Structure 1
Amino acid sequence: MVSVLITGSSDGIGRETAATLVGQGHRVVLHARDAGRAEQALAAVPGAAGVVVGDLSSLARTRELAGSAGAFDVVVHNAGLGGGLPERVVTEDGLELLFQVNVLAPYLLTALMPRPARLVYLTSGLEAQGVADLDDLQHERGPWNGMQAYSDSKLLDVVLAFAVARRWPGTPTNAVDPGWIKTKLGGPNATDGLPRGAETQVWLATSDDPAALVTGRYFKWREELRANPAAYDVEVQERLLAACAELTGVALP
């Protein structure tokens, strides 16, 4: 049995991942952004060990979540926003919303929580279209393009995963494209169901298969793929870590 925290597990792929792991006998703690969604999450995954609450669009509440969640064998950074925002949204911290929730929040949780034995970061196949513009991480220049901002954030999730893998060589750390899954984010035209979207995270979290114990890799449906070339660039990785440290005031240990 392993203990697992799954962020953004009140619905969609995160909840499916949680339910699958609970069904296998593992200790799973859910995460939701507010108390109402926390109740829904526990009702949907009744075998879960508990639920932690924290709004990832707030640096203060993300810090509180990191301090209260506890230690886990595995953390699956599943939470994220989609690319449907019609305009650039700024949070209470003065940060662009997509970047803060999709990139800065998992960075901050990674930096502040006790180091787990394994880490999994959810990305998207749209990372292939992402641009790692380290001089404009929050899309302050030019016209707003929600889907491009989303693609960029998903690329940065892979960059973050690979940076952590390189910094923490003893902690298998990988990025997962779950596929185009029928969820609220994926929409009704998506091609695959929830079980397919969760299977790789479950495998990486629990399997002793040597193929699941690698680090710094990019997977889709348990198959290792090549990510956007920018993700492998050590300079890009280091600049992203530095930018996240500057914005949060917390350096990756």
Structure 2
Amino acid sequence: MAETRIALVTGANRGIGLEIVRQLSRAGLMAVLASRDVAKGREAAAELASEGLEPPVVALDVTDEGSIRAAVDEVLGVFGRIDVLVNNAGVLHEGQTPDVSKVLQLSPAMALATYETNTLGPLRTMQAVVPIMQKGGYGRVVNLSSGAGQLAEMGSGFPAYRMSKAALNALTRVTAAELGAAPIKVNAMCPGWVRTDMGGPDATRSVEQGAETAVWLATLPDTGPTGGFFRDKAPIAW
């Protein structure tokens, strides 16, 4: 019998993160629901329990190295390894209206706060988890990026968010290149415009659609890609 893979999903108490936990659990993985607010994480887990799913919950704030280490140690203490890392936690401090968010009006403090979560958060979690994957000889890292971070189609508005996601894409490429032919795959994906608290009610995609590619990347076979950027399970331009 194949062993159960252990997945850690950040920012998973709602939206796309919660749906990723749901879909990974249904696929047979032990998906650990990580939430900055552990009480909200437990509420989300109770929602999944009504569907017959029982994800473990850990407190994890991606802006706090101590919180990340404590969460990783907790997962290791229970399961002994981490096979999959989904860097889903993200922020959009600029709101949902691009007209009020321009480069010349951008507060450097807002840009730094955005980078803390959207770019440095995944850097911190990968630094904590990838060495564990290396010891285990297996790993899948999925970075939740955005088309807003594509240099190929870069537009105006949301400069802090766009820059943080472009930097996350660079981090994805650099990490994949450094790991090379190792059995650890590192990819980024764009969920599209999804109906969540961040995306708003007018978004064109459901959370189920938004999570699907992340789940696909989290369960790639050994022959799967690494160092790529995907939407709807297909490569897209950087």
Give the alignment's TM-score, normalised by structure 2: 0.79
Q: Deviations over 1:126-160 (max 9, x none)?
A: 00259xxxxxxxxxxxxxx9810000001111111
Q: Deviations 1:22-80 (Å, cap 9, x if unpaired)?
A: 11222110100022212222112222331110222334323433443333111111111
From 174, 190, 205, give the equivalent of 1:192.
Answer: 205
Q: Which residue of 1 aligns with 2:233?
A: 222
Query: Cα RMSD over matched residues?
Result: 2.4
- CA 1:89–1:22 in 2, change beyond 3 Å: closer, same or farther? farther
Q: Tell me the distance in 1 between the aligned counterparts of 2:71 and 2:198.
A: 24
Q: Would you say the 8 A contact 1:102–1:153 is kept in 2?
A: yes
Q: Which amino acid aligns with 2:62?
A: L
- The residue correspondences of 1:54-73 to structure 2 (distance < 5 A) are 54-70=60-76, 71-73=81-83
Q: For residues 145-200 of structure 1, give each alpha carbon's deviation from its aligned partner in whole angstroms, at most 9, with x where no partner exists.
A: 98100000011111111111011121111000011111111111111111110111
Would you say 1:153 and 2:153 are equivalent positions?
Answer: no
SS in 2 for 1:96: helix
SS at match of 1:172: strand
Match of 2:39 in 1: 36
3-state SS of paired residue (1:184): coil
Does 2:198 match 1:203? no
Work out the CA distance in 2 between the residues paired with 1:26 and 1:66: 17
Count of residues paired in the alignment: 208
1:68-217 mapped onto 2 (5 Å cutoff): 68-70=74-76, 71-84=81-94, 88=107, 96-113=112-129, 114-115=132-133, 117-128=139-150, 147-169=158-180, 170=182, 171-208=184-221, 210=223, 213-217=224-228
2:150 alignment partner, SS class: helix
Question: Which letter maps to 1:109?
Answer: T
The CA distance in 1 between the partners of 2:59 and 2:107, in whole Å, is: 26
Counterpart secondary structure, 2:158: helix
Report the 3-state secondary structure (helix = DSSP H, G, I; strand = E; otherwise coil) of the residue aligned with 1:161.
Answer: helix
Partner of 1:242: none
Alpha-carbon distance change, 63 to 25 in structure 1, aligned in 2, over 3 angstroms: closer
**Alpha-carbon distance in structure 1 between the residues aligned to 2:207 and 2:21:** 12
Aligned position for 1:48: 54
Is 2:68–2:128's contact at 8 Å kept on the other side of the alignment?
A: no
Write the distance in 2 (CA, Å) between the matches of 1:77 and 1:19.
15
Aligned-partner residue type, residue 122 of structure 2 = P
CA distance in 2, matches of 1:57, 1:146: 25
Runs (4 or more) in structure 1 with deviation over 6 Å come to none
One-letter identity of the residue aligned with 1:182: R
Any conservation in 2 of the 1:6–1:18 contact (CA below 8 Å)? yes
**Structure 2 residues not aligned, in runs of 5+:** 96-100
The one-letter amino acid paired with 1:17 is: I
* Number of the residue aligned with 2:12: 9
**2:98 counterpart residue number:** none
Q: Distance in 2 between matches of 1:208 and 1:61?
A: 31
Give TM-score, length-normalised by structure 1: 0.75
